Amino acid sequence: MPLLEVKNLKKVYTTRFGGAQVQALRAVNFSVERGEYVAIMGESGSGKTTLLNIIASLDKPTAGKVLLAGEDVTSIAEKQLSVFRRKKLGFVFQDFNLLDTFCIRDNIFLPLVLSGEDHKKMEEKLIPIAKKLRIEDILDKYPYEVSGGQKQRCAVARALITGPELILADEPTGALDSRASDNLLDMFSRINGEGQTILMVTHSVKAASHASRVLFIRDGEVYTQLYRGERTKEAFYADIASSLTLLSVGGEEHA
Amino acid sequence: MRKGFLPRLAATGLSSNRQTYLPYFLTCTGTVLMFYNMCALAYHTSVLSEVSLSSLMTIGVWVTAIFAVIFLFYTNSFVIKRRKKEFGIYNILGLEKKHIGITMLFESLYVYVGSMVLGVGLGILFNKLITLLLYRMLRFDPNFQFAISLRAILYCAVLFAGIALLNLLYNLLQVRLSNPIQLLHGSNAGEKEPKAKWITALLGVVTLGAGYWLAITIQDPIEVLMLFFVAVILVIMGTYLLFTAGSVAILKLLRKNKRYYYKPAHFTTISGMIYRMKQNAAGLASICILSTAVLVMISTTVSMFVGSEDVLHTRYPEEIEVTASYPAGTEFDADALLENTMAVAGQEGRKIENLKAYTSTTVSADREGNAFIPAASGSSNNDVYLLVILSAQDFEGFTGKQVSVGPGELYAWGNVFGSAEAADWDSIAVLGHSYPLAGVDGSAPAIGAYSAWMAELCCLVTDSRDAVAAVAATAQEAYGETYNPNPYYSRICFDTDGTTEEKTAFAQALREDQLSKYPRDVDNDPIVTMRSRETTRDSFFSLYGGLFFLGIFLGSLFLMATVLIIYYKQIVEGYDDKERFAIMQKVGMSRQEVKRTVRTQVLLVFFIPLLAAAVHITAAFPMLTKLLKLLGLENIPLFLVCTICTVLVFALIYAIVYSMTAKVYYRIVYRKG
């Protein structure tokens, strides 16, 4: 059974006064196996972020299902939603979403504190993760005192610390310079290598070339997908780039 | 640059930031209104000086002024933080810092002039209403001339110009100190976590302790009156210092306690409060001071109002009191005055009860051992004694006690005779004459008419009125010009039977009789005066009613200010926190947890100041009871009950505002979806 199954997902936004309707997702179908590293690519407005928000249970679909380990995310009661999000999912955002009021350590602890975890256990969980992400030295600093790359690594640590089934990353390299981006992507590859499933939405061909599979979304549908297979990163990069070109040119032809 | 561009830019700046500036403007206006009213009441309402409340009102003016400075400075720092980005854009678009400065100057000017005009205008209307109500309650002439207090307007203009200038300087400094990029990010830059300042905390403990110490230890009523203001200032300073330094220290201690800190509700609350403590501290301290002011004002005036019958009886222990002051050697006859009074009572059909009648003379003196010597002129020595000298016959007429005093001897009654020093005195000297002691009483003399005197009282009893006259003559010699021209004092007091109307009729008859029979002295003051409890009652109650009204009015004014601050503070913080709560919800904070966190956070902000205010009022209680005693209210249990009730009612109002605020705050930070 796949870890994540997205079936016939449809999302229609209606403006507040019932005027124009905008179809963000038409019919999205795909699945993610345990241990996969999947990137979702598409132009602005293609529905990537809507898709991610629905998978993350931050938004409700108009129709369709999202199954995470067999459980339908879209039908979880409001009360259980936050517990679900806390335990099953880890989030990495483009703008880090760290809280300035907490030091790095407390930022990472946040989901555990919300779960009512014992403080000693939290420390135990933090040590290996902090070592892996090389943030042991900045744990007592505040987010406004560290660099963007460090911030994003802390956000990754916060996503990992609950031991989630799935990491959802929304443009994780969007606010980073190229060195920090490379660094973070290596980190992701290593985490994935240890068995962590990752679903990443990105604009960046380079980021996508780290994944094991890339889904291309256009006009609210999965248009095509590419498997990396045995190719090198560089070869995969070239393939993704040409697919993207095809995607946009093809789009013009269809229109 | 074209003329008039910057003033227009300033106007645009204000109107496009309505959301931030409107509350700020209203706060300024409200503060002006409040200050104007305090000044007008303190300096222009003659009724208040008649009931010697002006000095208390002056304290009120000072407290309001201090409060205005701190509160507006604090509010302004919020406002400017939110506008940094805008100034950054101006700077990048080519406006020099000088021009930004001028724009800010115009903005401050607009806010200042606007809030002054509106605040003073509303203040005058409000003041008229208040004065009208006050005069009605005091039953003064309702056709009074209502005056606009120019002095109060001037004070307002100066105070608020000063505050506007202070804020402008602060804002300029903020702009000057930062480059455009910093300005651009100004509104979301993390504030540096405040350091726990131990010296400030210590200073706070010292000032607060000193204030409490004064409030608790001072016994002398006159000192209470003089040092009340000092104690108030000390406590205000201590509160601000402790809230700024102490609160951070306490929160950091709480954060160190990991088991407490890493709980969902405490976690976000504590870190959020530490993050914002600098702003919080001033706000919380202001809230605390205002709450204390409200509690003090309302509890004292309510207990005075409720206890006014008590006060009436303290002020007028007897139904009728007739007194006469006259010089030596006049034909005035105290016995004739008594007979005359009895005769009027007979005509009116009133029966006399609890009659006390006596004549005495008073001399002030210093003491050296067992010798009372003439007091040095202009001496402010605390050891001044007031000697009340009367004959054994008058002593009996006054106290009902008989003492046997031989010729040339004295019977002495006063605290000093109970002291260890006086144990082996067998005689005392009064202004150079030595008298053997016939007996002593070491308790404090309960001589009603003199109890408010600042000096220590000694009652000396001679064998005859001639001996009293001899002492008076000696005193005349010793003091010469400065001697009291009317050294003799006769007092007749008693209760009567009958209804209120009958008592009033008797008092009026007695007054008319005295007016016709007794002439005025050389200074045209009446020699004989009388007071009647029954005829005073009405004006007395209206006076206390007026006081009650004033207390409730000022109390409500301060309460309003308190509520506004808390509400405003929480709303502004809500907008600041919106982002944080959004992140926490993304990470997995549920609706219930958001609700619980908000509740804890708002609860702390609300009830820490209330708790501190309760401690303040507990410490102030001894001092307040003495102040009330000066005003004639000696019923301490009554005051205690009134204070507790006031605190409870206040807490109730507070709880209502709390739940409202928490709801609004929650609505701001909770993101649906």
- Predicted confidence (pLDDT) per residue in A161-182, tens digit: 988 999 999 888 888 888 889 9
Q: Is residue A93 less than 8 Å (CB to CB) from chain B?
A: yes
Are residues B149 and B250 located together in one domain of the fold? Answer: no
* Domain stop point among B532, B548, B566: B532
The pLDDT, as a whole number, for residue B643 is: 92
Taking the CA of residue B247 and the nearest CA in chain A, the distance in Å comes to 16
At B75, the pLDDT band (50, 70, 90 cuts) reads: confident
Report the distance separating Cα B400 and Cα A171, nearest Å.
Answer: 100
Identify the residue with better confidence: A194 or B279.
A194
Percent of chain B with pLDDT over 70: 88
Angle at CA of residue B76, ends B75 and B81, nearest 5°: 105
Angle at CA of residue B147, ends B141 and B151, nearest 5°: 135
Instruction: Render pLDDT for A84-121 as a digit per residue (tens, 0 to 9).
Output: 888 888 889 888 888 888 889 999 998 888 888 888 88
User: What's the rounded mean pLDDT across residues B467-474?
Assistant: 84
The bridge status of strand A213-218 relative to strand A37-41 is parallel
CB atoms within 10 A of CB B635: 20
Are residues B520 and B618 located together in one domain of the fold? Answer: no
Range of the domain at B437: 318-532
Are residues B21 and B139 located together in one domain of the fold? Answer: yes
Judge whether residue B53 has pLDDT over 70.
no
Q: With CB atoms and an 8 Å threshold, state whether A100 touches B585.
A: no
Question: What are the Cα distances from residue B554, in Å, to A61, B131, B150?
Answer: 57, 13, 21
Identify the residue with better confidence: B57 or A245.
A245
Angle at CA of residue B562, ends B557 and B568, nearest 5°: 120
Are residues B554 and B577 located together in one domain of the fold? Answer: yes
Judge whether residue A228 has pLDDT over 50.
yes
* Domain stop point among B532, B554, B581: B532
Placement of tokens 């959301």 in the chain: B19
Pull the structure tokens for residue B199: 């010296």
Pull the structure tokens for residue B80: 């400017």
Judge whether residue B182 has pLDDT over 70.
no
Q: Is residue A114 less than 8 Å (CB to CB) from chain B?
A: yes
Q: CA nearest B668: which of B574, B593, B570?
A: B574
Judge whether residue A255 has pLDDT over 60.
no
Q: With CB atoms and an 8 Å threshold, state whether B588 touches A106.
A: no
Question: What total of structural domains would you count in chain B?
Answer: 3
Report the distance separating Cα B328 and Cα A171, nearest Å.
Answer: 105
**3-state secondary structure string, chain A?**
CCCEEEEEEEEEEECCCCCCEEEEEEEEEEEECCCCEEEEECCCCCCHHHHHHHHCCCCCCCEEEEEECCEEHHHCCHHHHHHHHHHHEEEECCCCCCCCCCCHHHHHHHHHHHCCCCHHHHHHHHHHHHHHCCCHHHCCCCHHHCCHHHHHHHHHHHHHCCCCCEEEEECCCCCCCHHHHHHHHHHHHHHHHCCCEEEEECCCHHHHCCCCEEEEEECCEEEEEEECCCCCHHHHHHHHHHHHHHHHHHHHHHC
At B388, the pLDDT band (50, 70, 90 cuts) reads: confident
Report yes or no: A178 and A3 within 8 Å, Cβ to Cβ.
no
Q: With CB atoms and an 8 Å threshold, state whether A100 touches B190.
A: yes
Q: Is residue B591 less than 8 Å (CB to CB) from chain A?
A: yes
The pLDDT, as a whole number, for residue A230 is: 87
At B384, the pLDDT band (50, 70, 90 cuts) reads: confident
User: What's the rounded mean pLDDT across residues B526-546?
Assistant: 77
Judge whether residue B576 has pLDDT over 70.
yes
Weakest mean pLDDT among A15-24, A159-168, B256-265: A15-24
CB atoms within 10 A of CB B444: 14
The pLDDT, as a whole number, for residue B614 is: 92
At B366, the pLDDT band (50, 70, 90 cuts) reads: confident
The pLDDT, as a whole number, for residue B306 is: 85
Chains A, B: CB contacts within 8 A come to 76
φ/ψ (deg, to 5) at A170: -110, 105
Q: Is residue A77 less than 8 Å (CB to CB) from chain B?
A: no
Q: Tell me which H or E stretch contains B524.
A: none
The chain A residue lying nearest B273, using CA atoms, is A101
Percent of chain B with pLDDT over 90: 11
Of the ranges B170-179, B426-435, B506-515, B646-655, which is most confident? B646-655
- The secondary structure of chain B in percent helix, strand, coil, rounded to multiples of 5, reads 70, 10, 20
Pull the structure tokens for residue B311: 């006060």
Q: At what angle do helices B277-306 and B221-241 cross, to 10 degrees?
A: 150
Are residues B85 and B58 located together in one domain of the fold? Answer: yes
Weakest mean pLDDT among A47-51, A78-82, B48-52, B243-247: B48-52
Judge whether residue B382 has pLDDT over 60.
no
Judge whether residue B147 has pLDDT over 70.
yes
Pull the structure tokens for residue B306: 């409720």
Weakest mean pLDDT among B245-249, B426-430, B565-569, B623-627: B565-569
Q: CA nearest B47: which of B542, B457, B663?
A: B542
Q: With CB atoms and an 8 Å threshold, state whether A114 touches B275.
A: no
The pLDDT, as a whole number, for residue A192 is: 92
Percent of chain A with pLDDT over 70: 96
Q: Is residue B581 less than 8 Å (CB to CB) from chain A?
A: no
* Domain stop point among B154, B189, B224: B189
> Which of B193, B264, B275 is facing A114, going by the closest CB pair?
B264
User: What's the rounded mean pLDDT across residues A17-33?
Assistant: 83
The pLDDT, as a whole number, for residue B50 is: 58
User: What's the rounded mean pLDDT across residues B125-133?
Assistant: 83
Judge whether residue A254 has pLDDT over 50.
no
Are residues B149 and B74 located together in one domain of the fold? Answer: yes
Taking the CA of residue B583 and the nearest CA in chain A, the distance in Å comes to 6
User: What's the rounded mean pLDDT across residues B29-58?
Assistant: 74
Q: CA nearest A101: which of A142, A147, A130, A41?
A: A142
Judge whether residue B160 has pLDDT over 80.
yes
At B324, the pLDDT band (50, 70, 90 cuts) reads: confident
Q: With CB atoms and an 8 Å threshold, state whether A114 touches B193.
A: no
The pLDDT, as a whole number, for residue A38 is: 94
The pLDDT, as a whole number, for residue B143 is: 58
Judge whether residue B2 has pLDDT over 50.
yes
What integer best gives the mean pLDDT of chain B? Answer: 81
Judge whether residue A252 has pLDDT over 60.
no
Alpha helices in B242-391 (DSSP H): 247-256, 258-261, 264-275, 277-306, 308-315, 334-348
Report the distance separating Cα B492 and Cα B422, nearest Å.
Answer: 33
Are residues B527 and B537 located together in one domain of the fold? Answer: no
Are residues B449 and B562 located together in one domain of the fold? Answer: no
The pLDDT, as a whole number, for residue A168 is: 92
Judge whether residue B513 has pLDDT over 90.
no
> Which of B258, B589, B673 is facing A119, going by the closest CB pair?
B258
* 3-class SS of residue B361: strand
Judge whether residue B654 has pLDDT over 70.
yes
Q: CA nearest B610: which of B139, B289, B319?
A: B289
Q: Tell me which H or E stretch contains B169.
A: helix B150-176
* 3-class SS of residue B367: strand
Bridge partners for B245 per DSSP = none
| Contact list, A56 vs chain B (CB under 8 Å) | 586
ipTM greater than cut 0.85: no
Are residues B259 and B126 located together in one domain of the fold? Answer: no
Are residues B413 and B472 located together in one domain of the fold? Answer: yes
Are residues B313 and B226 located together in one domain of the fold? Answer: yes
Report yes or no: B74 and B163 within 8 Å, Cβ to Cβ.
no
The pLDDT, as a whole number, for residue B210 is: 93
Question: What are the Cα distances from residue A46, in Å, to A170, A223, B526?
Answer: 14, 11, 102
Question: Which of B577, B578, B587 is most worth mutating to test chain A (most A CB atoms within 10 A of its CB)?
Answer: B587
Are residues B206 and B185 located together in one domain of the fold? Answer: no
Q: Report the length, in residues, of chain B.
A: 673
Judge whether residue B262 has pLDDT over 60.
yes
Q: What is the CA radius of gyration of chain B?
A: 33
Q: With CB atoms and an 8 Å threshold, state whether A83 touches B588.
A: yes
Of the ranges A64-68, B116-120, B435-439, B571-575, which is most confident? B116-120
CB atoms within 10 A of CB A4: 22
Burial (Cβ within 10 Å: 0-12, 13-18, ≥19) of residue B219: exposed
Judge whether residue B673 has pLDDT over 50.
no
Q: With CB atoms and an 8 Å threshold, state whether B585 touches A101.
A: no
At B619, the pLDDT band (50, 70, 90 cuts) reads: very high
> Which of B271, B583, B588 is facing A114, going by the closest CB pair?
B588
Report yes or no: B34 and B557 within 8 Å, Cβ to Cβ.
yes
Judge whether residue A225 has pLDDT over 60.
yes
Burial (Cβ within 10 Å: 0-12, 13-18, ≥19) of residue B408: middle
Q: Is residue B274 less than 8 Å (CB to CB) from chain A?
A: yes
